[in-house]
Amino acid sequence: MTTIVALVVVGPLVAAAAGLMWQDRSVVRDVITLGGLGATTAAAAWLLVAVERNGTVVIRVGGWDPDLGIVLVADLFAALILVVAVATILVVEIFAIGQRRTAWGADARLAGPLLLVLTSGVALAIVTGDLFTLFVAFELILISSYVLLTHQGRRGQIRSGMTYVTMNLFASTLFLLGVAFVYSATGTVNFAQLAIRIPELSSELRWGIGLWFLVVFGTKAAIFPLFSWLPDSYPTAPTTITAVFAGLLTKIGVYALIRFHTMMSMEDLGPVILIVAGVTMLVGVAGALAQDDMKRILSFHIVSQIGYMLMGLGLFSVAGVAGAVLFLIHQIPIKTVLFLVGGLVEESEGTSTLDRVGGLAARKPVIALLFALPALSLAGLPPFSGFVAKLALIDAGIADVSVPIVAVALVGSLLTLLSMAKIWLGVFWGGQPNSPAPVPVDSGSVRSHRLMVTATSFAVAATLGIALAAGPLWELSERAAIDLIDPSDYVELVLQ
């Protein structure tokens, strides 16, 4: 089973190299990309089953001790997020194959292999067992994502990409300094050893480390006030790239926040995290309400929804962290599918600006349905997965008597519903648009369009499946939260 842990990291890199060798042969390249992503998804699913049945899997790369070498660890939290992440990338790549003939698509010669490199970075960030390798994983993600954002060379993409890379390089610099500081204070960067040594430090040192990495991972996750790069960068990229970024990149920052702050017993920072969570919810949804473009509205909602996951972390209870884990599982496919629908709107109408599109529900009822289902879930209405995840967080907040954050979460959900209604009324309802829309780009063959709709439908079905499997997923999330709050088993397995 340790081979599977290594395969989910190394496999996509091998497939990316093969894809670059065959970049001018579209069929071969697509088969390699889909094959690499499919194999990685299958390996991740197999790993989840094994971890759920047999417990955490640990691999010491090169046989080195944790003091000196790299350790890869697949516990239940990692296995859950890994399978959702790679499956989402696979669905997006299917959409991309259908979209590549349109002006809205990315350059397939580079996009496929780079997406595989991104997958490898995401997998490494999830299963790594030390801070420095986590830094390397984030850099792998940053390099591939920057090229994906800007490789078409459009003026708006280059400008927005520079904003993206500048903020993330800032975070990377802080990250590297933080790694050095932690090593000087504890003599290690291994998570298992840090879980023992950081709680033994003085309260001032623990606060400093906790706040430092709250800023580092918070920049990656786009929390308030470190989110300004996101709404400016994401809407300019091709749909397939934006969909992956929206569903995954900020969520990996959240994953790191949960992993680090729970294992290092940073519960003293709980009140600070709850304040940041509340402000992130409200600022994000307020920004969404102020926009007049579908993709920009959805971009601000990425920020708003991060606040809910921070809320679960800030409670530092099993119920709160379990709610954050479940919300993370729900959010990855929901945000991805909403941006895929945005791509279908652009492909059909030539724009996603609200006042230049209207009555799409009558002309394209399938696209309207594909938007409505995840939009209702994002707003937290029953019986969708968003309702289950938000109910878990609200219940955890009430149990913790954290009334202010519960109230903010409820207000944020109401405003989210209003912003989804704004998109529905502007894009899907009504009659003719207020101003003429540009002539839509050539959408390619009917077969390509159907492939895009099919991929989006699969993603919507996955979100419905999460709602149907809410009970088992909650049990798994709760078990993962117990292991995060009390990492003694994790520590023993890594250090034995």
Q: Which residues contact 272 (CB under 8 A, 6 or more apart)?
A: 211, 214, 314
Q: What's the confidence (pLDDT) of residue 105?
A: 46
Tens-digit pLDDT string for the chain (496 aa): 678 888 999 999 999 999 888 877 878 888 899 999 999 999 999 999 999 999 899 999 878 888 878 899 999 999 999 999 999 999 998 888 877 654 444 556 777 888 999 999 999 999 999 999 999 999 999 888 888 877 654 555 666 667 777 888 888 999 999 999 999 999 999 999 999 999 999 999 999 999 999 999 999 898 988 887 787 777 667 778 888 888 888 899 999 999 999 999 899 999 999 999 999 999 999 999 998 888 889 989 999 999 999 999 999 999 999 999 999 999 999 999 999 998 888 877 777 788 787 788 888 889 999 999 999 999 989 889 899 999 999 999 999 888 999 999 999 999 999 999 999 988 888 665 554 444 444 445 567 778 888 889 999 999 999 999 999 999 999 999 999 999 999 999 999 8
Q: What's the confidence (pLDDT) of residue 449?
A: 76
pTM of full prediction above 0.75:
yes
Task: State pLDDT tens for residues 422-476.
Answer: 999 888 886 655 544 444 444 455 677 788 888 899 999 999 999 999 999 999 9
- For the four alpha carbons of 231, 232, 235 and 238, in that order, the dihedral sign comes to negative
The dihedral over CA atoms of 132, 137, 143, 148, expressed in degrees to the nearest 10, equals: -160
From CA 436, how far away is CA 96, in angstroms rounded? 28
Q: What's the confidence (pLDDT) of residue 142?
A: 87
Residue 72's beta-bridge partner residues?
Answer: 59, 128
Q: What's the confidence (pLDDT) of residue 234?
A: 72
From CA 8, how far away is CA 206, in angstroms rounded? 33
Q: Is 184 exposed, middle or buried (0-12, 13-18, 19+ CB in 10 A)?
A: exposed
Q: What's the confidence (pLDDT) of residue 102?
A: 47
Distances in Å between the Cα of 335 and the Cα atoms of 42, 188, 332 are 22, 36, 6
From CA 3, how far away is CA 39, in angstroms rounded? 13
From CA 319, how far away is CA 7, in angstroms rounded? 33
Task: State pLDDT tens for residues 209-268.
Answer: 999 999 999 998 989 888 877 877 776 677 788 888 888 888 999 999 999 999 998 999
